[in-house]
Amino acid sequence: MPFLRLVLLSCFALLSAPAWSGVLSGEGKAVDGDTLILRGERIRLFGIDAPEHDQTCDRAGKSWECGQWSGEQLARLLRGRPVTCEGNARDRYGRLLAICHVDGQVVNAALVRSGAAFAYRRYSEAFVAEEDVARTEKRGLWAARVTRPETFRHADVAASPASGQGGCLLKGNISARGERIFHSPGQEHYAATVISPSKGERWFCSAAEARAAGWRPAAR
């Protein structure tokens, strides 16, 4: 795919991450809708953006676990099939940015075309055509009311005390699966995590306190 390689070379140059060039192949495991693990390497699918794992959307007036659904679509594409990923840069979280192929198709494009992810126009327009098809035919996310993932991640958290409760800064969140996870300042999802006491969520003053209460630390 010469065009995609050209896109990678031109767009990766805009990202402030150390260069890396290589190809990885093997059995991949989905982490969420735009991230997978391949041979121990965490890979961020370049040019697309999917809802966060715990993000919900509105479909026909009902809450829909669209983030979980998006991850399931990637898992379905990868299941039992060898995947090959090629990239030459990392994002600020250390993930390899890559274009991946499985069964002769570009995984990044397939996810956008099915409505499981959006074209990440901030970094690339490589998958805009696929997004246009998904939007026109109201596939997947386009059949619901969805907050763009990037907007969700950087959402204004003014509804929660800026410094936590009593100065405590760790956010004890309960995921859509009922998992009790605490987020520390500086972690990827900290800013977008809003604490809802009515759901049983709470602030913690220390990791030890959170663990003692049954919460586990966020992975990233």
pLDDT tier for residue 210 given thresholds of 50, 70 and 90: confident
Contacts of 1 (CB under 8 A, 6+ apart): 99, 106
Q: Which residue has the higher pLDDT, 90 or 76?
A: 76
Above 60 in pLDDT, residue 2?
no
**12-16, 82-86, 115-119, 134-138: least confident range:** 12-16
**42-51, 59-68, 198-207: least confident range:** 198-207
The per-residue pLDDT for 6 is 40
Looking at residue 67, its amino acid is G
Q: Which residue has the higher pLDDT, 142 or 16?
A: 142
The model's pLDDT over 46-65, given as tens digits with 9 standing for 90+, comes to 999 999 888 899 999 899 99
Residues 127, 112: contact at Cβ < 8 Å? Answer: yes
Contacts of 87 (CB under 8 A, 6+ apart): 8, 12, 20, 21, 22, 43, 46, 96, 97, 98, 99
The per-residue pLDDT for 167 is 67
Above 80 in pLDDT, residue 30?
yes
Domains, the chain, with CATH or none: 2-146 (2.40.50.90), 155-217 (no CATH)
Question: What's the pTM value of the predicted model, to 2 decimals?
Answer: 0.65
The model's pLDDT over 133-191, given as tens digits with 9 standing for 90+, comes to 999 999 999 999 999 998 887 763 334 444 566 668 889 989 878 889 988 887 877 88
Q: Which residue has the higher pLDDT, 196 or 164?
A: 196
pLDDT tier for residue 21 given thresholds of 50, 70 and 90: low
Task: Catalogue the E-assigned strands of the chain.
Answer: 19-32, 35-38, 41-45, 48-49, 57-59, 62-64, 82-90, 96-102, 105-106, 118-119, 170-174, 180-183, 202-204, 216-217
The per-residue pLDDT for 67 is 93
* Per-chain mean pLDDT for the chain: 84
